[in-house]
A and B are shown apart, each in its own frame.
Chain A
Amino acid sequence: MWTKERIVLPLIENLHEIEVYKKNGGYQNAKKAFALHPDEVIDTVKKSGLRGRGGAAFSAGLKWSFMPKSTDKPKYLCINGDESEPGSFKDRQIFEYNPHQLIEGVLIACHAIGANIAYVYIRGEYHKWIKLFQKALDDAYAAGYVGAGMKNTFGTDFKVEIYVHKGAGAYICGEESSLMNSIEGHRGYPRVKPPFPAQKGLWGCPTTINNVETLANVPVIIDKGWEWFSSIGSPKHPGTILYGVSGHVNKPGVYELPSGTLLTDIIYNYAGGVPGDKKIKCVIPGGSSMPPLRGDSLEGIKMDADSLKEAGSSIGTAGIMVMDEDTDLIAVLARITAFYYHESCGQCTPCREGTGWMLKILKRMARGNATKKDLDLLVSVANNIDGNTICALGEAAAWPVKFMVQRFRDEFESKMKDEIEIAVPNKVHSMRDTVNPIASITI
């Protein structure tokens, strides 16, 4: 069923139906994994080199190995299907076309870490995909692959319950600790780490959080072995990746290709190139949080975590956004910043306030009422967010701004004025008695 090009989304008609999935060897790998000791499963996944597909590209097997072996508390697995990163639309393909492979991956992961309960967190806007996945899950329950029926089907005492938790429109809930708070019924505020989820996660119990695409890879690794998997694509980031291509391309969509595929290959050969054969001005290679790349520097960039790091960006969720030569980058950056301003949870001051200030400056730039000094001001605000927040949303908001201005400074500067008029002068400052500030305050 699986080839080295097609692991997560094999080309089999109606694979989302449980009967078709079963006919193609479905749920046999869960059985195979249950016969192994959990440590063997973790070891296999570790050796395969499978890295998380949710953004951080952390070794999946290593993450599992952090779970305590002996504990008197229940253990949990959370599956992150929040998929709210702009430019990212891969998990919905798995919910729609191959949900059983995800469920099987969940079963194997639960066995490896010793969890009996798994929560699949799906973003609230995905009504259709929640229904599709729930249908697949119901079928799996009815066929005895999940829940109480597992004893008969697999001949094991191990039991897993899988529940779907529907999000409600908060980007931040894709952050793992925020996701757990959301499942617990709180506002989706990220938590301070440490303690890490493997020590204190859901309800203070050991928890592992994996991305949907990551877990969908797991049954294949069990089936074909770690050597097979690790030989695909880039050795340090093996396997296939679901690349989501959007923006100014002729054939936008999700393309499953081996990791390390050339970025230009994806854009020109698979996504059909840029409409009107225009030049590319800018590409964001991993969802809107990742540093943008210049269109004239794309040659030779491979799409895997290490190569992109070298190129000055990051793989993120592999959501590739392509912008042609006519794109107004100030407008794009203002829109990206508006997104982070809207989605900042408000917990940390640098992010809550900083995103708002960046947006104000960018809106002024878009109106053509800014000077070159404002560019430095903008970068300074971004620098004060970067690294000063509890979760990575701070970096996600700061990076596009910092790197866009750095890499496209010529374009930004060409639209700046030498002097600007401020409609309402800052009255507070002009009224302030600078010699004796306190004395000037009258009530």
Chain B
Amino acid sequence: MEFHFSEENLSKLSGVFSKYPNKKAAVMPVLYIAQEQNGYISNEVISEVSKVCEITEEEVMGVVTFYTMYHQTKPGKYHIQVCTNVSCMLRDGFEIYDAVKEKLGISNHGVTGDGLFSLEEVECMGSCGTAPMIAVNEDFHENLTKELTLQILDNLKQV
């Protein structure tokens, strides 16, 4: 599927470029803008980003594959990220992770059939003092229990 930056995003790009001495340095924020518009980083996105940042497609691909927050496949409408690192693990993070897996019927990096949910087991999100936690897209839900977590998923389904 072809990809071109929208007019609105093109104007955002010039703001991003002004922060750095060269266009290559802007590749991370540019990828974020592209991902927001397209939903994920497809090969077409990579090709377009390489053009606006004036670097090779390989260099863009190198960046995309290095960082976990760039998705190369389309995530669900609600991307559920469950932390299972030590501080969360000590407060039953794995139970929550297993409950989410069971409820959604998908495993790590899976997407539900209706495209509503995707799941990722993530590394420490900096919520150790409010563990356990999950993140739904950009929003953190902290101090969770298994019941609260399942309730969050139910609420999202009804939206």
A319 and B68 contact, CB distance less than 8 A = no
A89-B127, A169-B69, A252-B128 given as contacts; is B19 within 8 A of A163 (CB)?
yes
Question: Which residue of chain A lies nearest to B90 when distances are taken between CB atoms in the complex?
Answer: A247
A185 within 8 A of B: yes
B122 surroundings in chain A (CB, below 8 A): 125
A193 within 8 A of B: no
Once the chains are docked, how many angstroms separate the CA of A190 from the CA of B25?
16
* Contact with A342, one of B28, B55, B123, B130 (Cβ below 8 angstroms): B123
Enumerate B13-45 residues with CB–CB distance to A below 8 Å: 19-22, 24-29, 31-32
Tell me the minimal C-beta distance from A267 to chain B in angstroms: 14
A339 and B25 contact, CB distance less than 8 A = no
* Contact with B68, one of A127, A170, A183, A335 (Cβ below 8 angstroms): A170
B25 surroundings in chain A (CB, below 8 A): 183-185
A170-B68, A246-B87 given as contacts; is B53 within 8 A of A185 (CB)?
yes
CB contacts between A and B, total, < 8 Å: 134
Tell me the minimal C-beta distance from A172 to chain B in angstroms: 9
Once the chains are docked, how many angstroms separate the CA of A124 from the CA of B126?
11
Tell me the minimal C-beta distance from A319 to chain B in angstroms: 7
B31 surroundings in chain A (CB, below 8 A): 168
Q: Which residues of B contact A (CB under 8 A)?
A: 19-22, 24-29, 31-32, 53, 55, 62-63, 66-70, 84-87, 89-91, 122-131, 135, 138-140
Q: Which residues of A contact B (CB under 8 A)?
A: 83-89, 91-92, 123-128, 163, 165-171, 182-188, 203, 244-248, 252-254, 284, 288, 319, 321, 323, 327, 331-332, 335-336, 339, 342-343, 345
9 contacts between A and B (CB under 8 A): A87-B124, A89-B128, A167-B67, A188-B66, A203-B22, A244-B129, A284-B86, A288-B85, A321-B87
Known: A83-B126, A182-B28, A187-B66. 8 other contacts (CB 8 A): A86-B85, A89-B127, A127-B138, A128-B139, A168-B31, A168-B69, A168-B70, A185-B55
